[in-house]
Structure 1
Amino acid sequence: MMVEPNSCRFCRVSAENGFDIVYEDALFLGFTDRNPASAHHFQVIPKAHIASVRSLNPASHVGLVQAMEAVGRRILDNFGVPESMRKMGFHIPPMNSVYHLHLHVQGLPYHSTTRALKYPVVRGFGHFSKGPSWFVEVHQAMRILEHGGHIGLLPC
Protein backbone atom coordinates (compact mmCIF):
# COMPACT_ATOMS: atom_id res chain seq x y z
CA MET A 1 0.00 0.00 0.00
CA MET A 2 1.45 3.33 -1.04
CA VAL A 3 0.19 6.64 0.29
CA GLU A 4 0.66 9.93 -1.46
CA PRO A 5 2.44 12.61 0.63
CA ASN A 6 -0.58 14.93 0.49
CA SER A 7 -2.75 12.29 2.23
CA CYS A 8 -0.09 11.10 4.70
CA ARG A 9 -0.89 11.98 8.31
CA PHE A 10 2.81 12.03 9.24
CA CYS A 11 3.44 14.63 6.54
CA ARG A 12 1.09 16.84 8.57
CA VAL A 13 2.67 16.36 12.00
CA SER A 14 2.40 19.55 14.03
CA ALA A 15 1.28 20.71 17.45
CA GLU A 16 -1.71 22.32 15.72
CA ASN A 17 -2.74 18.88 14.46
CA GLY A 18 -2.62 17.39 17.96
CA PHE A 19 0.90 15.94 18.03
CA ASP A 20 3.13 16.27 21.10
CA ILE A 21 6.35 17.44 19.42
CA VAL A 22 9.45 16.68 21.51
CA TYR A 23 12.09 17.43 18.84
CA GLU A 24 12.32 19.42 15.62
CA ASP A 25 15.10 20.52 13.31
CA ALA A 26 15.31 21.26 9.58
CA LEU A 27 15.14 17.57 8.58
CA PHE A 28 13.37 15.63 11.36
CA LEU A 29 10.49 15.67 13.80
CA GLY A 30 10.17 13.67 17.00
CA PHE A 31 6.84 13.24 18.75
CA THR A 32 5.16 11.17 21.43
CA ASP A 33 3.48 8.01 20.17
CA ARG A 34 -0.29 8.30 20.47
CA ASN A 35 -0.61 4.72 21.74
CA PRO A 36 2.63 4.15 23.64
CA ALA A 37 3.80 0.57 24.10
CA SER A 38 6.45 1.49 26.65
CA ALA A 39 7.21 3.90 29.45
CA HIS A 40 8.65 6.35 26.88
CA HIS A 41 7.61 5.85 23.24
CA PHE A 42 8.33 8.34 20.47
CA GLN A 43 8.39 8.44 16.70
CA VAL A 44 11.19 10.08 14.72
CA ILE A 45 10.32 10.92 11.13
CA PRO A 46 12.04 12.68 8.26
CA LYS A 47 10.14 15.77 7.14
CA ALA A 48 10.56 14.58 3.55
CA HIS A 49 8.07 11.85 2.67
CA ILE A 50 9.66 8.39 2.40
CA ALA A 51 7.10 5.60 2.31
CA SER A 52 8.77 3.02 4.54
CA VAL A 53 11.95 1.22 5.57
CA ARG A 54 11.49 -0.89 2.43
CA SER A 55 11.93 2.27 0.35
CA LEU A 56 15.42 2.93 1.68
CA ASN A 57 18.18 2.90 -0.89
CA PRO A 58 21.46 1.31 0.24
CA ALA A 59 23.50 3.84 -1.71
CA SER A 60 21.94 6.97 -0.22
CA HIS A 61 20.00 6.32 3.00
CA VAL A 62 22.59 5.01 5.49
CA GLY A 63 23.23 8.59 6.65
CA LEU A 64 19.50 9.22 7.02
CA VAL A 65 19.09 6.20 9.32
CA GLN A 66 22.17 7.23 11.31
CA ALA A 67 20.76 10.74 11.75
CA MET A 68 17.36 9.36 12.82
CA GLU A 69 19.09 7.22 15.44
CA ALA A 70 21.02 10.27 16.70
CA VAL A 71 17.74 12.18 17.09
CA GLY A 72 16.24 9.20 18.95
CA ARG A 73 19.24 9.07 21.29
CA ARG A 74 18.92 12.80 21.98
CA ILE A 75 15.23 12.42 22.83
CA LEU A 76 15.87 9.49 25.18
CA ASP A 77 18.76 11.41 26.77
CA ASN A 78 16.36 14.31 27.44
CA PHE A 79 14.00 11.90 29.23
CA GLY A 80 16.80 10.29 31.26
CA VAL A 81 16.40 6.82 29.74
CA PRO A 82 19.52 4.71 30.44
CA GLU A 83 21.26 3.00 27.49
CA SER A 84 20.30 -0.44 28.82
CA MET A 85 16.58 0.45 28.61
CA ARG A 86 16.51 1.69 25.00
CA LYS A 87 15.12 0.10 21.86
CA MET A 88 14.90 1.67 18.41
CA GLY A 89 13.69 0.22 15.15
CA PHE A 90 11.27 0.14 12.24
CA HIS A 91 8.23 -1.97 11.42
CA ILE A 92 8.50 -3.56 7.98
CA PRO A 93 5.50 -3.31 5.62
CA PRO A 94 2.91 -4.65 5.55
CA MET A 95 3.23 -4.75 9.35
CA ASN A 96 3.02 -0.98 9.81
CA SER A 97 0.02 1.31 10.11
CA VAL A 98 1.44 4.51 8.60
CA TYR A 99 3.22 4.65 5.25
CA HIS A 100 5.75 7.32 6.18
CA LEU A 101 9.16 6.20 7.41
CA HIS A 102 9.14 6.34 11.21
CA LEU A 103 11.63 5.14 13.78
CA HIS A 104 10.14 3.77 16.98
CA VAL A 105 12.19 5.20 19.86
CA GLN A 106 11.40 3.44 23.11
CA GLY A 107 12.44 3.72 26.72
CA LEU A 108 11.53 0.42 28.34
CA PRO A 109 9.87 -1.32 30.11
CA TYR A 110 6.91 -2.22 27.93
CA HIS A 111 3.45 -1.75 29.39
CA SER A 112 2.71 -5.46 28.86
CA THR A 113 4.12 -8.61 27.29
CA THR A 114 1.50 -8.29 24.56
CA ARG A 115 2.79 -4.82 23.65
CA ALA A 116 6.38 -6.11 23.57
CA LEU A 117 5.42 -8.72 20.95
CA LYS A 118 4.95 -5.95 18.37
CA TYR A 119 8.69 -5.20 18.47
CA PRO A 120 10.55 -8.52 18.12
CA VAL A 121 14.27 -8.32 17.47
CA VAL A 122 15.38 -11.44 15.59
CA ARG A 123 19.14 -11.71 15.36
CA GLY A 124 20.72 -12.64 12.08
CA PHE A 125 22.61 -15.80 11.32
CA GLY A 126 25.36 -16.58 8.85
CA HIS A 127 25.73 -13.55 6.60
CA PHE A 128 22.29 -12.17 7.50
CA SER A 129 22.01 -9.08 9.73
CA LYS A 130 18.45 -9.94 10.81
CA GLY A 131 16.29 -13.02 10.88
CA PRO A 132 12.66 -13.38 9.73
CA SER A 133 10.55 -10.74 11.47
CA TRP A 134 8.37 -7.68 10.91
CA PHE A 135 10.62 -5.39 13.00
CA VAL A 136 14.19 -4.35 12.27
CA GLU A 137 16.34 -2.78 14.96
CA VAL A 138 18.03 0.47 13.85
CA HIS A 139 21.54 -1.08 13.95
CA GLN A 140 20.37 -4.05 11.91
CA ALA A 141 18.89 -1.66 9.33
CA MET A 142 22.16 0.26 9.08
CA ARG A 143 24.20 -2.94 8.59
CA ILE A 144 21.84 -4.19 5.89
CA LEU A 145 22.02 -0.87 4.01
CA GLU A 146 25.79 -0.55 4.48
CA HIS A 147 26.22 -3.95 2.83
CA GLY A 148 24.05 -2.97 -0.15
CA GLY A 149 20.96 -4.89 0.93
CA HIS A 150 17.29 -4.03 1.12
CA ILE A 151 15.18 -4.49 4.24
CA GLY A 152 12.36 -7.03 4.16
CA LEU A 153 10.45 -9.51 6.30
CA LEU A 154 12.73 -12.42 5.44
CA PRO A 155 16.34 -12.73 6.61
CA CYS A 156 18.48 -9.98 5.14
Structure 2
Amino acid sequence: MADIQTKPGCPFCSATAEKGFNIVWEDEEYTAFKDRSPASAQHILLIPKTHIDSIKSLHQTDVARAEKMAEIGHSILDKLEVSQDKRRMGFVIPPFNTVNHLHLHVQELPYTSWLKSLMYRVAPGTGGNDKDFSWFVEVEQAVKILKKGQDVSVFAC
Protein backbone atom coordinates (compact mmCIF):
# COMPACT_ATOMS: atom_id res chain seq x y z
CA MET A 1 0.00 0.00 0.00
CA ALA A 2 1.17 3.57 -0.74
CA ASP A 3 2.60 5.73 2.06
CA ILE A 4 -0.43 7.96 2.76
CA GLN A 5 0.19 11.28 4.49
CA THR A 6 -2.79 13.23 5.74
CA LYS A 7 -3.30 16.70 7.20
CA PRO A 8 -5.33 17.07 10.39
CA GLY A 9 -8.54 18.97 9.79
CA CYS A 10 -8.54 18.50 6.01
CA PRO A 11 -12.00 17.25 5.02
CA PHE A 12 -10.69 15.47 1.91
CA CYS A 13 -8.00 13.57 3.83
CA SER A 14 -10.83 11.62 5.45
CA ALA A 15 -12.97 11.15 2.32
CA THR A 16 -14.77 7.88 2.99
CA ALA A 17 -18.31 6.62 2.57
CA GLU A 18 -18.53 6.46 6.38
CA LYS A 19 -17.87 10.22 6.48
CA GLY A 20 -20.68 10.90 4.00
CA PHE A 21 -18.74 10.99 0.73
CA ASN A 22 -20.41 9.38 -2.29
CA ILE A 23 -17.39 7.38 -3.49
CA VAL A 24 -17.55 6.40 -7.17
CA TRP A 25 -14.00 5.09 -7.67
CA GLU A 26 -11.02 4.25 -5.46
CA ASP A 27 -7.62 2.59 -5.47
CA GLU A 28 -4.64 2.67 -3.10
CA GLU A 29 -3.56 6.19 -4.10
CA TYR A 30 -6.68 8.05 -5.29
CA THR A 31 -10.35 8.49 -4.38
CA ALA A 32 -13.14 9.91 -6.55
CA PHE A 33 -16.47 11.08 -5.18
CA LYS A 34 -19.49 13.06 -6.32
CA ASP A 35 -19.27 16.80 -5.70
CA ARG A 36 -21.73 17.88 -2.99
CA SER A 37 -22.58 21.02 -4.95
CA PRO A 38 -22.41 19.84 -8.57
CA ALA A 39 -22.02 22.33 -11.40
CA SER A 40 -23.13 19.77 -14.00
CA ALA A 41 -25.02 16.49 -14.32
CA GLN A 42 -21.80 14.56 -13.71
CA HIS A 43 -19.40 16.39 -11.39
CA ILE A 44 -16.84 14.25 -9.61
CA LEU A 45 -13.82 15.24 -7.56
CA LEU A 46 -10.69 13.09 -7.85
CA ILE A 47 -8.17 13.45 -5.04
CA PRO A 48 -4.86 11.89 -4.09
CA LYS A 49 -5.06 10.14 -0.72
CA THR A 50 -1.78 11.80 0.24
CA HIS A 51 -2.40 15.40 1.23
CA ILE A 52 -1.20 17.94 -1.34
CA ASP A 53 -2.45 21.50 -0.83
CA SER A 54 -3.32 22.43 -4.42
CA ILE A 55 -2.28 22.58 -8.06
CA LYS A 56 0.09 25.39 -7.03
CA SER A 57 2.01 22.78 -4.98
CA LEU A 58 2.85 20.70 -8.04
CA HIS A 59 6.12 21.03 -9.96
CA GLN A 60 7.86 19.40 -12.91
CA THR A 61 8.51 16.28 -10.82
CA ASP A 62 4.72 15.88 -10.45
CA VAL A 63 3.87 15.59 -14.16
CA ALA A 64 3.21 11.85 -13.83
CA ARG A 65 0.75 12.52 -10.98
CA ALA A 66 -1.23 15.03 -13.08
CA GLU A 67 -1.19 12.65 -16.06
CA LYS A 68 -2.38 9.76 -13.85
CA MET A 69 -5.22 11.91 -12.50
CA ALA A 70 -6.26 12.76 -16.08
CA GLU A 71 -6.18 9.06 -17.01
CA ILE A 72 -8.38 8.15 -14.05
CA GLY A 73 -10.74 11.02 -14.80
CA HIS A 74 -11.17 9.88 -18.40
CA SER A 75 -11.74 6.31 -17.21
CA ILE A 76 -14.51 7.49 -14.88
CA LEU A 77 -16.14 9.51 -17.67
CA ASP A 78 -15.81 6.52 -20.02
CA LYS A 79 -17.76 4.37 -17.54
CA LEU A 80 -20.39 7.12 -17.31
CA GLU A 81 -20.55 7.12 -21.15
CA VAL A 82 -19.71 10.82 -21.40
CA SER A 83 -18.64 11.70 -24.94
CA GLN A 84 -15.23 13.32 -25.50
CA ASP A 85 -16.76 16.64 -26.58
CA LYS A 86 -18.77 16.92 -23.33
CA ARG A 87 -15.81 16.53 -20.94
CA ARG A 88 -14.06 19.12 -18.84
CA MET A 89 -11.36 18.25 -16.32
CA GLY A 90 -9.24 20.67 -14.40
CA PHE A 91 -8.16 22.32 -11.18
CA VAL A 92 -9.38 25.50 -9.51
CA ILE A 93 -6.34 27.60 -8.60
CA PRO A 94 -5.98 29.12 -5.11
CA PRO A 95 -7.13 31.39 -3.67
CA PHE A 96 -10.33 30.52 -5.57
CA ASN A 97 -10.56 26.88 -4.48
CA THR A 98 -12.85 25.85 -1.63
CA VAL A 99 -10.79 23.03 -0.06
CA ASN A 100 -7.01 23.10 0.29
CA HIS A 101 -6.43 19.56 -0.93
CA LEU A 102 -5.53 18.90 -4.56
CA HIS A 103 -8.68 17.87 -6.44
CA LEU A 104 -9.40 17.40 -10.10
CA HIS A 105 -12.89 18.41 -11.23
CA VAL A 106 -14.15 15.68 -13.58
CA GLN A 107 -17.24 17.02 -15.31
CA GLU A 108 -19.78 16.43 -18.03
CA LEU A 109 -20.85 19.57 -19.89
CA PRO A 110 -23.06 21.57 -20.00
CA TYR A 111 -23.09 23.36 -16.66
CA THR A 112 -26.34 23.70 -14.77
CA SER A 113 -26.17 27.52 -14.89
CA TRP A 114 -24.14 30.26 -16.53
CA LEU A 115 -23.01 31.37 -13.05
CA LYS A 116 -21.50 27.95 -12.32
CA SER A 117 -19.85 27.93 -15.75
CA LEU A 118 -17.88 31.06 -14.78
CA MET A 119 -16.04 29.12 -12.09
CA TYR A 120 -14.68 26.70 -14.69
CA ARG A 121 -13.92 29.13 -17.51
CA VAL A 122 -11.00 27.97 -19.65
CA ALA A 123 -8.51 30.62 -20.76
CA PRO A 124 -6.47 29.31 -23.71
CA GLY A 125 -2.90 30.52 -23.81
CA THR A 126 -1.62 33.26 -26.08
CA GLY A 127 1.82 34.69 -26.74
CA GLY A 128 3.66 31.49 -25.89
CA ASN A 129 1.67 30.80 -22.72
CA ASP A 130 -0.31 27.61 -22.19
CA LYS A 131 -3.05 29.49 -20.31
CA ASP A 132 -4.02 33.09 -19.77
CA PHE A 133 -5.46 34.76 -16.66
CA SER A 134 -8.04 32.46 -15.04
CA TRP A 135 -8.69 30.66 -11.79
CA PHE A 136 -9.25 27.33 -13.55
CA VAL A 137 -6.70 25.28 -15.47
CA GLU A 138 -7.62 22.28 -17.59
CA VAL A 139 -5.60 19.21 -16.72
CA GLU A 140 -3.93 19.17 -20.16
CA GLN A 141 -2.87 22.81 -19.71
CA ALA A 142 -1.49 21.99 -16.26
CA VAL A 143 0.57 19.08 -17.63
CA LYS A 144 2.09 21.29 -20.36
CA ILE A 145 2.95 24.01 -17.85
CA LEU A 146 4.52 21.55 -15.40
CA LYS A 147 6.50 19.82 -18.16
CA LYS A 148 8.10 23.19 -19.00
CA GLY A 149 9.23 23.50 -15.37
CA GLN A 150 6.79 26.32 -14.65
CA ASP A 151 4.34 26.61 -11.79
CA VAL A 152 0.59 26.82 -12.38
CA SER A 153 -0.90 30.12 -11.28
CA VAL A 154 -3.91 32.36 -11.82
CA PHE A 155 -1.80 34.56 -14.10
CA ALA A 156 -0.72 33.64 -17.63
CA CYS A 157 1.75 30.76 -17.66
TM-score interval, normalised by the smaller of the two chains: over 0.9
Aligned-pair distance for 1:77? 0.8
TM-score by length of 1: 0.96
The alignment yields a C-alpha RMSD, in angstroms, of 0.8
Pairwise mapping of residues 25-104 of structure 1 onto structure 2 (< 5 A)? 25-58=27-60, 60-104=61-105
Q: Whole-Å Cα distance in 1 between the matches of residues 43 and 19 of structure 2?
A: 19
- For residues 15-74 of structure 1, the C-alpha deviation after alignment (integer angstroms, 9 at most, x for no partner) is 00000100101110010000000010000000000000000021x100000000111111
Q: Which stretches of structure 1, 4 residues or longer, exceed 3 Å deviation after superposition?
A: none
In 1, distance between residues paired with 2:113 and 2:97?
20
Letter of the 2:136 counterpart: F
Q: Tell me the secondary structure at the aligned position of residue 117 of structure 1.
A: helix
TM normalised by structure 2 equals 0.95
* Residue 13 of structure 2, aligned match among 5, 11, 14: 11
CA distance in 2, matches of 1:125, 1:108: 24
Q: Deviations over 1:67-120 (max 9, x none)?
A: 001111111111110001000000000000100000000011111111111101
Question: What corresponds to 2:137 in structure 1?
Answer: 136
